[in-house]
Chain A
Amino acid sequence: MRFFEYEAREIVRRAGIPVTDFGFAKTPAEAREIAQRIGGPVVIKSQVLSGGRMKAGGVRFADSPEEAEAHAQAILALEIGGHMPRGVLVDPKAEVEQEYYAGVVWDGTRKLPVMIFSPVGGIDIEQVAAEQPEQVGRRHISTILPLSDFAAKETIARAGVSGGELTKIVPILRRLAELFLRYDMTLAEINPLGRLPDGSFVALDAHMEIENEARGRQRELLLELGVDPTETRQAREATPFEIAGEEVDSSDHRGVAGNVTEFDGNLGLVIGAGGGSLTLFDAVRAHGGRPANYCEIGGNPSVRKAAGLAKLVLSKPGVERIAVMMSIVSNTRVDIVARGVIKACLELGYDPAEKIAFFRIPGAWEEEGFKILQKYGIDYADRSVSLNEAARRAVEKIQGANEEAVR
Protein backbone atom coordinates (compact mmCIF):
# COMPACT_ATOMS: atom_id res chain seq x y z
CA MET A 1 0.00 0.00 0.00
CA ARG A 2 1.43 3.31 -1.05
CA PHE A 3 1.49 6.47 0.98
CA PHE A 4 0.94 9.91 -0.40
CA GLU A 5 3.99 12.14 -0.23
CA TYR A 6 2.53 14.21 2.60
CA GLU A 7 1.97 11.05 4.62
CA ALA A 8 5.43 9.69 3.87
CA ARG A 9 6.97 13.00 4.90
CA GLU A 10 5.02 12.89 8.15
CA ILE A 11 6.33 9.39 8.86
CA VAL A 12 9.86 10.60 8.14
CA ARG A 13 9.39 13.61 10.39
CA ARG A 14 8.17 11.49 13.28
CA ALA A 15 11.26 9.33 13.01
CA GLY A 16 13.42 12.35 13.73
CA ILE A 17 14.68 12.83 10.17
CA PRO A 18 14.82 16.54 9.34
CA VAL A 19 12.13 17.66 6.91
CA THR A 20 11.15 21.03 5.53
CA ASP A 21 8.33 23.02 7.15
CA PHE A 22 5.77 21.61 4.75
CA GLY A 23 1.98 21.65 5.01
CA PHE A 24 -0.86 19.70 3.42
CA ALA A 25 -3.82 21.61 1.98
CA LYS A 26 -7.11 20.41 0.62
CA THR A 27 -8.27 23.81 -0.59
CA PRO A 28 -6.60 26.79 -2.28
CA ALA A 29 -7.31 28.88 0.83
CA GLU A 30 -5.47 26.39 3.03
CA ALA A 31 -2.56 26.44 0.59
CA ARG A 32 -2.44 30.22 0.84
CA GLU A 33 -2.40 30.06 4.68
CA ILE A 34 0.47 27.58 4.66
CA ALA A 35 2.42 29.68 2.17
CA GLN A 36 1.84 32.70 4.41
CA ARG A 37 3.15 30.81 7.43
CA ILE A 38 6.23 29.66 5.49
CA GLY A 39 6.83 33.23 4.38
CA GLY A 40 8.81 32.91 1.19
CA PRO A 41 8.92 31.12 -2.14
CA VAL A 42 7.11 27.79 -2.01
CA VAL A 43 6.55 24.71 -4.14
CA ILE A 44 2.99 23.43 -4.63
CA LYS A 45 2.89 19.70 -5.32
CA SER A 46 -0.10 17.64 -6.35
CA GLN A 47 -0.78 14.74 -4.00
CA VAL A 48 -1.54 11.86 -6.32
CA LEU A 49 -0.36 8.26 -6.26
CA SER A 50 1.06 8.59 -9.72
CA GLY A 51 4.37 9.46 -11.29
CA GLY A 52 5.00 12.20 -13.82
CA ARG A 53 3.67 15.03 -11.67
CA MET A 54 6.18 17.58 -12.87
CA LYS A 55 5.57 16.80 -16.53
CA ALA A 56 1.81 16.94 -16.06
CA GLY A 57 1.95 20.36 -14.42
CA GLY A 58 1.32 19.05 -10.95
CA VAL A 59 4.34 20.78 -9.42
CA ARG A 60 4.48 24.58 -9.52
CA PHE A 61 6.51 27.31 -7.84
CA ALA A 62 5.02 30.36 -6.16
CA ASP A 63 6.65 33.51 -4.80
CA SER A 64 3.66 34.76 -2.82
CA PRO A 65 0.69 33.35 -0.90
CA GLU A 66 -1.64 34.65 -3.62
CA GLU A 67 0.30 32.81 -6.29
CA ALA A 68 0.33 29.69 -4.10
CA GLU A 69 -3.45 29.87 -3.83
CA ALA A 70 -3.85 30.23 -7.61
CA HIS A 71 -1.48 27.34 -8.32
CA ALA A 72 -3.23 25.18 -5.73
CA GLN A 73 -6.55 25.87 -7.40
CA ALA A 74 -5.18 24.78 -10.77
CA ILE A 75 -3.45 21.70 -9.41
CA LEU A 76 -6.46 20.56 -7.39
CA ALA A 77 -8.46 20.45 -10.64
CA LEU A 78 -5.74 18.62 -12.54
CA GLU A 79 -6.08 14.89 -13.20
CA ILE A 80 -2.76 13.06 -13.39
CA GLY A 81 -2.50 9.50 -14.63
CA GLY A 82 -6.23 9.03 -14.14
CA HIS A 83 -6.15 10.26 -10.55
CA MET A 84 -7.53 13.43 -9.04
CA PRO A 85 -5.29 14.84 -6.30
CA ARG A 86 -6.01 14.21 -2.65
CA GLY A 87 -4.75 17.74 -1.96
CA VAL A 88 -1.56 19.71 -2.39
CA LEU A 89 1.64 19.78 -0.44
CA VAL A 90 3.01 23.26 0.17
CA ASP A 91 6.74 23.19 0.72
CA PRO A 92 9.35 25.90 1.23
CA LYS A 93 11.52 26.26 -1.84
CA ALA A 94 14.75 25.14 -0.25
CA GLU A 95 18.12 26.35 -1.37
CA VAL A 96 19.95 23.10 -1.91
CA GLU A 97 23.65 22.62 -2.58
CA GLN A 98 23.48 18.98 -3.47
CA GLU A 99 20.81 16.29 -3.78
CA TYR A 100 21.36 12.74 -2.51
CA TYR A 101 19.36 9.53 -2.55
CA ALA A 102 18.64 7.41 0.54
CA GLY A 103 16.45 4.35 0.41
CA VAL A 104 15.62 0.99 1.86
CA VAL A 105 13.85 -1.53 -0.36
CA TRP A 106 12.93 -5.18 -0.12
CA ASP A 107 15.25 -7.45 -2.07
CA GLY A 108 12.99 -10.31 -3.14
CA THR A 109 15.92 -12.40 -4.32
CA ARG A 110 17.90 -12.25 -1.09
CA LYS A 111 14.72 -11.98 0.96
CA LEU A 112 16.26 -9.17 2.96
CA PRO A 113 15.94 -5.40 3.07
CA VAL A 114 18.73 -3.56 1.33
CA MET A 115 19.91 -0.07 2.18
CA ILE A 116 20.82 2.04 -0.82
CA PHE A 117 22.59 5.36 -0.85
CA SER A 118 23.86 7.65 -3.58
CA PRO A 119 25.31 11.16 -3.70
CA VAL A 120 23.37 11.54 -6.96
CA GLY A 121 19.76 12.26 -6.01
CA GLY A 122 16.69 13.86 -7.45
CA ILE A 123 16.50 11.38 -10.31
CA ASP A 124 15.52 7.72 -10.45
CA ILE A 125 18.01 5.57 -8.58
CA GLU A 126 17.66 2.97 -11.35
CA GLN A 127 19.08 5.51 -13.78
CA VAL A 128 21.98 6.31 -11.46
CA ALA A 129 22.69 2.60 -10.96
CA ALA A 130 22.76 2.07 -14.72
CA GLU A 131 24.81 5.11 -15.65
CA GLN A 132 27.03 5.66 -12.59
CA PRO A 133 27.11 2.38 -10.67
CA GLU A 134 30.13 3.49 -8.65
CA GLN A 135 27.93 6.20 -7.15
CA VAL A 136 25.55 3.72 -5.56
CA GLY A 137 26.24 2.01 -2.23
CA ARG A 138 24.22 -1.01 -1.13
CA ARG A 139 24.13 -3.19 1.93
CA HIS A 140 21.65 -5.81 3.05
CA ILE A 141 20.39 -5.68 6.62
CA SER A 142 18.90 -8.29 8.89
CA THR A 143 15.25 -8.27 9.86
CA ILE A 144 16.16 -10.03 13.11
CA LEU A 145 19.49 -8.68 14.35
CA PRO A 146 19.64 -5.16 15.80
CA LEU A 147 20.34 -2.45 13.28
CA SER A 148 23.66 -0.66 13.71
CA ASP A 149 25.02 2.71 12.65
CA PHE A 150 27.84 0.78 11.09
CA ALA A 151 25.58 -0.77 8.46
CA ALA A 152 24.39 2.66 7.41
CA LYS A 153 27.94 4.00 7.48
CA GLU A 154 29.18 1.19 5.28
CA THR A 155 26.37 1.75 2.76
CA ILE A 156 27.05 5.47 2.48
CA ALA A 157 30.84 5.04 2.35
CA ARG A 158 30.45 2.53 -0.49
CA ALA A 159 28.98 5.37 -2.56
CA GLY A 160 32.14 7.40 -2.00
CA VAL A 161 30.85 9.74 0.72
CA SER A 162 33.18 10.43 3.63
CA GLY A 163 34.05 12.90 6.38
CA GLY A 164 31.47 15.21 7.94
CA GLU A 165 28.85 14.39 5.33
CA LEU A 166 29.10 10.73 6.15
CA THR A 167 28.71 11.42 9.86
CA LYS A 168 25.61 13.56 9.29
CA ILE A 169 23.88 11.16 6.90
CA VAL A 170 24.43 7.98 8.96
CA PRO A 171 21.59 8.65 11.45
CA ILE A 172 19.24 9.57 8.62
CA LEU A 173 19.78 6.32 6.75
CA ARG A 174 19.69 4.29 9.96
CA ARG A 175 16.37 5.88 11.01
CA LEU A 176 14.98 5.27 7.56
CA ALA A 177 15.92 1.59 7.88
CA GLU A 178 14.29 1.49 11.32
CA LEU A 179 11.09 2.87 9.80
CA PHE A 180 11.24 0.25 7.08
CA LEU A 181 11.48 -2.57 9.61
CA ARG A 182 9.02 -1.15 12.18
CA TYR A 183 6.25 -0.49 9.69
CA ASP A 184 6.56 -3.60 7.48
CA MET A 185 7.58 -1.51 4.50
CA THR A 186 8.56 -2.65 1.06
CA LEU A 187 9.91 0.76 0.11
CA ALA A 188 11.20 3.69 2.17
CA GLU A 189 12.85 6.31 0.05
CA ILE A 190 14.03 9.88 0.53
CA ASN A 191 14.74 11.35 -2.87
CA PRO A 192 16.08 13.89 -2.84
CA LEU A 193 17.79 14.25 0.46
CA GLY A 194 19.10 17.80 0.22
CA ARG A 195 22.24 19.32 1.66
CA LEU A 196 21.54 22.92 2.61
CA PRO A 197 24.11 25.74 2.54
CA ASP A 198 24.70 25.39 6.30
CA GLY A 199 25.76 21.76 5.76
CA SER A 200 22.64 20.25 7.28
CA PHE A 201 20.49 17.67 5.52
CA VAL A 202 16.76 17.68 4.95
CA ALA A 203 14.31 15.27 3.33
CA LEU A 204 12.81 17.07 0.34
CA ASP A 205 10.61 14.23 -0.86
CA ALA A 206 9.72 10.77 0.42
CA HIS A 207 8.08 7.66 -1.01
CA MET A 208 6.86 4.85 1.16
CA GLU A 209 4.96 1.64 0.73
CA ILE A 210 3.94 -0.97 3.27
CA GLU A 211 2.91 -4.56 2.72
CA ASN A 212 -0.81 -4.72 2.05
CA GLU A 213 -1.01 -7.66 4.43
CA ALA A 214 0.52 -5.54 7.18
CA ARG A 215 -2.35 -3.06 7.24
CA GLY A 216 -3.86 -4.81 10.24
CA ARG A 217 -0.61 -4.76 12.17
CA GLN A 218 -0.05 -1.12 11.29
CA ARG A 219 -3.57 0.02 12.07
CA GLU A 220 -2.31 2.51 14.64
CA LEU A 221 -0.02 4.26 12.15
CA LEU A 222 -2.73 4.33 9.49
CA LEU A 223 -5.24 5.78 11.96
CA GLU A 224 -2.77 8.46 13.00
CA LEU A 225 -2.22 9.39 9.36
CA GLY A 226 -5.97 9.44 8.70
CA VAL A 227 -5.89 6.60 6.18
CA ASP A 228 -9.36 5.19 5.62
CA PRO A 229 -9.31 1.39 6.21
CA THR A 230 -11.31 0.88 2.99
CA GLU A 231 -8.85 2.71 0.75
CA THR A 232 -7.27 0.36 -1.76
CA ARG A 233 -4.58 2.75 -3.00
CA GLN A 234 -4.22 0.84 -6.23
CA ALA A 235 -2.32 2.42 -9.12
CA ARG A 236 -5.56 2.29 -11.09
CA GLU A 237 -9.12 1.22 -10.61
CA ALA A 238 -9.84 -2.46 -11.22
CA THR A 239 -11.32 -3.16 -14.66
CA PRO A 240 -14.66 -5.00 -15.01
CA PHE A 241 -12.62 -8.06 -16.09
CA GLU A 242 -10.54 -7.88 -12.92
CA ILE A 243 -13.61 -7.37 -10.75
CA ALA A 244 -15.18 -10.42 -12.39
CA GLY A 245 -12.00 -12.34 -11.52
CA GLU A 246 -12.42 -11.38 -7.88
CA GLU A 247 -16.02 -12.57 -8.03
CA VAL A 248 -14.89 -15.94 -9.36
CA ASP A 249 -12.36 -16.23 -6.57
CA SER A 250 -14.76 -15.25 -3.81
CA SER A 251 -17.56 -17.46 -5.12
CA ASP A 252 -16.04 -20.56 -3.53
CA HIS A 253 -13.80 -20.79 -0.47
CA ARG A 254 -11.79 -23.67 -1.93
CA GLY A 255 -8.41 -22.68 -3.29
CA VAL A 256 -7.48 -19.63 -5.30
CA ALA A 257 -8.51 -18.87 -8.85
CA GLY A 258 -8.30 -15.15 -9.30
CA ASN A 259 -5.96 -12.24 -8.63
CA VAL A 260 -6.56 -11.34 -12.23
CA THR A 261 -4.85 -8.46 -13.99
CA GLU A 262 -5.95 -7.46 -17.44
CA PHE A 263 -3.61 -7.05 -20.38
CA ASP A 264 -4.39 -6.60 -24.04
CA GLY A 265 -2.87 -9.71 -25.62
CA ASN A 266 -4.40 -12.69 -27.37
CA LEU A 267 -3.10 -15.54 -25.19
CA GLY A 268 -5.22 -16.10 -22.10
CA LEU A 269 -3.33 -17.47 -19.13
CA VAL A 270 -4.52 -19.85 -16.45
CA ILE A 271 -1.35 -20.06 -14.43
CA GLY A 272 -0.05 -20.43 -10.90
CA ALA A 273 1.64 -22.37 -8.14
CA GLY A 274 4.49 -21.19 -5.99
CA GLY A 275 5.59 -18.22 -8.06
CA GLY A 276 4.67 -19.99 -11.27
CA SER A 277 2.34 -17.21 -12.35
CA LEU A 278 5.03 -14.56 -12.45
CA THR A 279 7.59 -16.89 -13.99
CA LEU A 280 5.20 -18.08 -16.68
CA PHE A 281 3.93 -14.61 -17.46
CA ASP A 282 7.49 -13.40 -17.96
CA ALA A 283 8.39 -16.51 -19.97
CA VAL A 284 5.43 -15.99 -22.32
CA ARG A 285 6.52 -12.42 -22.92
CA ALA A 286 10.16 -13.44 -23.35
CA HIS A 287 9.10 -15.76 -26.16
CA GLY A 288 7.22 -13.00 -27.91
CA GLY A 289 3.78 -13.92 -26.62
CA ARG A 290 1.13 -11.35 -25.77
CA PRO A 291 -0.65 -12.31 -22.54
CA ALA A 292 -4.27 -11.29 -22.25
CA ASN A 293 -4.13 -11.51 -18.51
CA TYR A 294 -2.22 -12.40 -15.40
CA CYS A 295 -3.87 -14.60 -12.79
CA GLU A 296 -3.14 -16.97 -9.94
CA ILE A 297 -4.51 -20.42 -9.46
CA GLY A 298 -3.55 -22.68 -6.57
CA GLY A 299 -4.56 -24.17 -3.25
CA ASN A 300 -6.74 -26.73 -5.01
CA PRO A 301 -9.72 -24.80 -6.28
CA SER A 302 -12.88 -26.70 -7.11
CA VAL A 303 -13.66 -27.72 -10.67
CA ARG A 304 -16.35 -25.04 -10.75
CA LYS A 305 -13.93 -22.36 -9.63
CA ALA A 306 -11.21 -23.36 -12.12
CA ALA A 307 -13.87 -23.43 -14.82
CA GLY A 308 -15.11 -20.01 -13.76
CA LEU A 309 -11.67 -18.50 -14.14
CA ALA A 310 -11.05 -20.23 -17.47
CA LYS A 311 -14.43 -19.09 -18.78
CA LEU A 312 -13.70 -15.54 -17.77
CA VAL A 313 -10.35 -15.60 -19.57
CA LEU A 314 -11.79 -17.34 -22.63
CA SER A 315 -14.60 -14.81 -22.85
CA LYS A 316 -12.28 -11.84 -22.84
CA PRO A 317 -12.38 -10.03 -26.17
CA GLY A 318 -9.23 -10.72 -28.18
CA VAL A 319 -8.36 -13.99 -26.48
CA GLU A 320 -7.70 -16.63 -29.12
CA ARG A 321 -6.48 -19.47 -26.92
CA ILE A 322 -5.52 -20.15 -23.35
CA ALA A 323 -2.40 -21.71 -21.89
CA VAL A 324 -2.86 -23.66 -18.68
CA MET A 325 0.47 -23.92 -16.94
CA MET A 326 1.74 -24.25 -13.40
CA SER A 327 4.85 -25.25 -11.48
CA ILE A 328 4.83 -28.74 -10.02
CA VAL A 329 1.74 -28.82 -7.83
CA SER A 330 1.36 -30.61 -4.53
CA ASN A 331 -1.98 -29.73 -2.99
CA THR A 332 -3.60 -28.44 -6.18
CA ARG A 333 -4.74 -31.40 -8.25
CA VAL A 334 -3.90 -31.70 -11.91
CA ASP A 335 -7.10 -33.60 -12.71
CA ILE A 336 -9.33 -31.02 -11.03
CA VAL A 337 -7.77 -28.13 -12.95
CA ALA A 338 -7.92 -30.15 -16.16
CA ARG A 339 -11.62 -30.79 -15.60
CA GLY A 340 -12.20 -27.12 -14.89
CA VAL A 341 -10.55 -25.71 -17.98
CA ILE A 342 -12.07 -28.34 -20.27
CA LYS A 343 -15.48 -27.73 -18.80
CA ALA A 344 -15.08 -24.02 -19.45
CA CYS A 345 -14.32 -24.71 -23.12
CA LEU A 346 -17.24 -27.08 -23.51
CA GLU A 347 -19.73 -24.79 -21.81
CA LEU A 348 -18.68 -21.96 -24.12
CA GLY A 349 -19.05 -24.21 -27.14
CA TYR A 350 -15.35 -24.54 -27.91
CA ASP A 351 -13.29 -27.60 -28.73
CA PRO A 352 -10.84 -27.90 -25.80
CA ALA A 353 -8.15 -29.29 -28.12
CA GLU A 354 -8.39 -26.10 -30.17
CA LYS A 355 -8.80 -23.57 -27.41
CA ILE A 356 -6.19 -24.88 -24.99
CA ALA A 357 -2.88 -24.05 -26.64
CA PHE A 358 -0.89 -25.97 -24.10
CA PHE A 359 -1.37 -27.63 -20.71
CA ARG A 360 1.57 -28.12 -18.42
CA ILE A 361 0.67 -28.93 -14.83
CA PRO A 362 2.65 -31.78 -13.33
CA GLY A 363 2.20 -33.04 -9.78
CA ALA A 364 -0.60 -34.36 -7.62
CA TRP A 365 -3.04 -36.63 -9.46
CA GLU A 366 -1.29 -36.09 -12.77
CA GLU A 367 -2.07 -39.63 -14.00
CA GLU A 368 -5.78 -38.90 -13.80
CA GLY A 369 -5.25 -35.44 -15.22
CA PHE A 370 -3.33 -36.73 -18.20
CA LYS A 371 -6.04 -39.28 -18.93
CA ILE A 372 -8.57 -36.45 -19.11
CA LEU A 373 -6.31 -34.39 -21.36
CA GLN A 374 -5.74 -37.36 -23.66
CA LYS A 375 -9.46 -37.97 -23.91
CA TYR A 376 -10.00 -34.44 -25.20
CA GLY A 377 -6.90 -34.40 -27.42
CA ILE A 378 -5.21 -31.56 -25.58
CA ASP A 379 -1.51 -30.90 -26.11
CA TYR A 380 0.12 -31.36 -22.70
CA ALA A 381 3.43 -32.04 -21.04
CA ASP A 382 4.71 -33.48 -17.79
CA ARG A 383 7.49 -32.19 -15.57
CA SER A 384 10.19 -33.12 -18.09
CA VAL A 385 9.17 -29.96 -19.95
CA SER A 386 10.32 -26.81 -18.16
CA LEU A 387 8.06 -23.83 -17.51
CA ASN A 388 10.12 -21.86 -19.99
CA GLU A 389 9.71 -24.50 -22.69
CA ALA A 390 6.00 -24.79 -21.95
CA ALA A 391 5.61 -21.05 -22.40
CA ARG A 392 7.54 -21.23 -25.65
CA ARG A 393 5.30 -24.00 -26.97
CA ALA A 394 2.15 -22.11 -26.03
CA VAL A 395 3.39 -18.99 -27.79
CA GLU A 396 4.51 -20.99 -30.81
CA LYS A 397 1.08 -22.58 -31.02
CA ILE A 398 -0.81 -19.31 -31.04
CA GLN A 399 1.64 -17.63 -33.40
CA GLY A 400 1.59 -20.65 -35.70
CA ALA A 401 -2.19 -20.55 -35.81
CA ASN A 402 -2.12 -16.87 -36.71
CA GLU A 403 0.43 -17.39 -39.47
CA GLU A 404 -1.71 -20.20 -40.83
CA ALA A 405 -4.71 -17.88 -40.83
CA VAL A 406 -2.75 -15.23 -42.77
CA ARG A 407 -1.81 -17.79 -45.44
Chain B
Amino acid sequence: MRVDGTFIAVEVSEQAAADQELARRLAEVCPVDIFRLRTAAAESGGSADALEIVAENVDECVLCRLCLDTAPAGAVKVIKLYDNEALLA
Protein backbone atom coordinates (compact mmCIF):
# COMPACT_ATOMS: atom_id res chain seq x y z
CA MET B 1 0.00 0.00 0.00
CA ARG B 2 1.15 3.52 -0.71
CA VAL B 3 -0.21 6.85 0.46
CA ASP B 4 0.96 10.10 -1.09
CA GLY B 5 0.97 13.41 0.71
CA THR B 6 2.10 16.65 -0.87
CA PHE B 7 5.75 16.25 0.05
CA ILE B 8 6.12 12.71 1.29
CA ALA B 9 4.77 9.33 0.25
CA VAL B 10 4.89 6.25 2.43
CA GLU B 11 4.77 2.76 1.02
CA VAL B 12 4.49 -0.48 2.96
CA SER B 13 4.75 -3.86 1.26
CA GLU B 14 1.67 -6.09 1.44
CA GLN B 15 3.65 -8.69 3.33
CA ALA B 16 4.81 -6.18 5.93
CA ALA B 17 1.35 -4.69 6.24
CA ALA B 18 -0.05 -8.10 7.03
CA ASP B 19 2.45 -8.70 9.81
CA GLN B 20 0.54 -7.71 12.92
CA GLU B 21 3.58 -7.52 15.16
CA LEU B 22 5.38 -5.28 12.67
CA ALA B 23 2.27 -3.15 12.31
CA ARG B 24 2.13 -2.71 16.06
CA ARG B 25 5.81 -1.72 16.18
CA LEU B 26 5.44 0.78 13.32
CA ALA B 27 2.49 2.42 15.04
CA GLU B 28 4.54 2.58 18.21
CA VAL B 29 7.74 4.06 16.81
CA CYS B 30 6.41 6.72 14.44
CA PRO B 31 6.64 10.07 16.30
CA VAL B 32 4.07 11.74 14.07
CA ASP B 33 1.50 8.93 13.94
CA ILE B 34 1.75 8.04 10.28
CA PHE B 35 0.97 4.41 11.10
CA ARG B 36 -1.93 3.15 13.13
CA LEU B 37 -3.70 -0.09 13.81
CA ARG B 38 -7.30 -0.53 12.94
CA THR B 39 -9.52 -3.47 13.47
CA ALA B 40 -9.96 -5.20 10.16
CA ALA B 41 -13.31 -5.27 8.43
CA ALA B 42 -15.90 -7.91 9.22
CA GLU B 43 -15.09 -9.95 6.15
CA SER B 44 -11.69 -10.70 7.57
CA GLY B 45 -13.12 -11.85 10.84
CA GLY B 46 -13.21 -8.53 12.63
CA SER B 47 -10.62 -9.54 15.17
CA ALA B 48 -7.29 -8.94 13.46
CA ASP B 49 -5.56 -5.60 13.55
CA ALA B 50 -4.43 -4.20 10.23
CA LEU B 51 -1.89 -1.52 9.46
CA GLU B 52 -3.19 1.78 8.18
CA ILE B 53 -1.20 4.68 6.78
CA VAL B 54 -2.80 7.87 8.09
CA ALA B 55 -3.06 10.08 5.02
CA GLU B 56 -3.40 13.39 6.90
CA ASN B 57 -0.18 12.71 8.81
CA VAL B 58 2.06 11.65 5.93
CA ASP B 59 3.38 15.16 5.33
CA GLU B 60 4.31 15.41 9.00
CA CYS B 61 7.07 12.84 8.42
CA VAL B 62 10.26 14.12 10.05
CA LEU B 63 12.51 11.68 8.12
CA CYS B 64 13.65 10.09 11.36
CA ARG B 65 14.04 6.60 9.81
CA LEU B 66 12.58 4.86 12.84
CA CYS B 67 10.08 3.01 10.63
CA LEU B 68 12.87 1.93 8.27
CA ASP B 69 14.93 0.66 11.20
CA THR B 70 11.95 -1.22 12.61
CA ALA B 71 10.90 -3.00 9.43
CA PRO B 72 12.85 -5.56 7.37
CA ALA B 73 14.89 -3.96 4.58
CA GLY B 74 12.67 -2.69 1.77
CA ALA B 75 9.39 -3.36 3.59
CA VAL B 76 8.75 0.32 4.28
CA LYS B 77 9.67 3.10 1.90
CA VAL B 78 9.62 6.82 2.66
CA ILE B 79 9.61 8.75 -0.60
CA LYS B 80 10.49 12.40 -0.93
CA LEU B 81 8.12 13.69 -3.57
CA TYR B 82 9.91 17.04 -3.69
CA ASP B 83 13.22 15.37 -4.54
CA ASN B 84 12.45 13.31 -7.66
CA GLU B 85 10.92 10.58 -5.52
CA ALA B 86 14.21 9.97 -3.74
CA LEU B 87 13.98 7.25 -1.13
CA LEU B 88 14.85 7.97 2.44
CA ALA B 89 17.81 5.67 2.94
B-binding residues in A (CB < 8 A): 302-304, 333, 335-336, 339, 342-343, 346, 368, 371-372, 375-376
Question: Which residues from chain B contact A376 at a C-beta distance below 8 Å?
Answer: 82
* Cross-chain contact B6 with A336 (CB below 8 angstroms): no
Select one of A303, A368, A375 contacting B59, CB under 8 A: A303
Question: Which residues from chain B contact A304 at a C-beta distance below 8 Å?
Answer: 60
* Cross-chain contact A339 with B32 (CB below 8 angstroms): no
Residue B63, interface by CB 8 Å: yes
Least Cβ–Cβ distance between B30 and chain A, in angstroms: 13
Known: A302-B60, A368-B80, A368-B83. 19 other contacts (CB 8 A): A302-B32, A303-B60, A304-B60, A333-B62, A336-B62, A339-B6, A339-B7, A339-B59, A342-B6, A342-B7, A343-B7, A343-B59, A346-B6, A368-B63, A371-B80, A371-B83, A372-B82, A375-B82, A375-B83
- Once bound together, how far apart are the Cα atoms of A52 and B32, in whole Å? 51
Question: Which residues from chain A contact B6 at a C-beta distance below 8 Å?
Answer: 339, 342-343, 346
- Once bound together, how far apart are the Cα atoms of A148 and B59, in whole Å? 59
27 A-B residue pairings within 8 Å (CB atoms)? A302-B32, A302-B60, A303-B59, A303-B60, A304-B60, A333-B62, A335-B63, A336-B62, A339-B6, A339-B59, A342-B6, A342-B7, A343-B6, A343-B7, A343-B59, A346-B6, A368-B63, A368-B80, A368-B83, A371-B80, A371-B82, A371-B83, A372-B7, A372-B82, A375-B82, A375-B83, A376-B82
- Once bound together, how far apart are the Cα atoms of A27 and B63, in whole Å? 64
Classify the interface of chain A: helix, strand, loop or mixed. helix
* For the complex of A and B, 5 pairs with smallest distance between CB atoms: A375-B82, A372-B82, A339-B7, A371-B83, A303-B60
CB-CB nearest in chain B for A333:
B62
Least Cβ–Cβ distance between B63 and chain A, in angstroms: 7
- Once bound together, how far apart are the Cα atoms of A372 and B61, in whole Å? 14
Question: Which residues from chain B contact A302 at a C-beta distance below 8 Å?
Answer: 32, 60
CB-CB nearest in chain B for A300:
B62
Question: Which residues from chain A contact B83 at a C-beta distance below 8 Å?
Answer: 368, 371, 375
Least Cβ–Cβ distance between B78 and chain A, in angstroms: 12
* Number of chain B residues close to chain A: CB under 8 A: 10
Question: Which residues from chain A contact B80 at a C-beta distance below 8 Å?
Answer: 368, 371
- Once bound together, how far apart are the Cα atoms of A407 and B25, in whole Å? 61
Question: Which residues from chain A contact B62 at a C-beta distance below 8 Å?
Answer: 333, 336
Question: Which residues from chain A contact B82 at a C-beta distance below 8 Å?
Answer: 371-372, 375-376
- Once bound together, how far apart are the Cα atoms of A343 and B82, in whole Å? 13
Least Cβ–Cβ distance between A253 and chain B, in angstroms: 13
Least Cβ–Cβ distance between A267 and chain B, in angstroms: 25
- Once bound together, how far apart are the Cα atoms of A372 and B62, in whole Å? 14
Question: Which residues from chain A contact B7 at a C-beta distance below 8 Å?
Answer: 339, 342-343, 372
- Once bound together, how far apart are the Cα atoms of A303 and B83, in whole Å? 18
CB-CB nearest in chain B for A347:
B6
- Once bound together, how far apart are the Cα atoms of A343 and B80, in whole Å? 15
CB-CB nearest in chain A for B83:
A371
- Once bound together, how far apart are the Cα atoms of A335 and B62, in whole Å? 9
Question: Which residues from chain A contact B60 at a C-beta distance below 8 Å?
Answer: 302-304
Least Cβ–Cβ distance between A333 and chain B, in angstroms: 7
* Residue from the set B6, B7, B83 with the largest chain A CB neighbour count within 10 Å: B7
- Once bound together, how far apart are the Cα atoms of A234 and B6, in whole Å? 40
- Once bound together, how far apart are the Cα atoms of A346 and B5, in whole Å? 12
Task: Tell me the chain B residues, 61-89 only, with Cβ under 8 Å from chain A.
Answer: 62-63, 80, 82-83
- Once bound together, how far apart are the Cα atoms of A10 and B58, in whole Å? 57
Question: Which residues from chain B contact A371 at a C-beta distance below 8 Å?
Answer: 80, 82-83
- Once bound together, how far apart are the Cα atoms of A279 and B46, in whole Å? 58
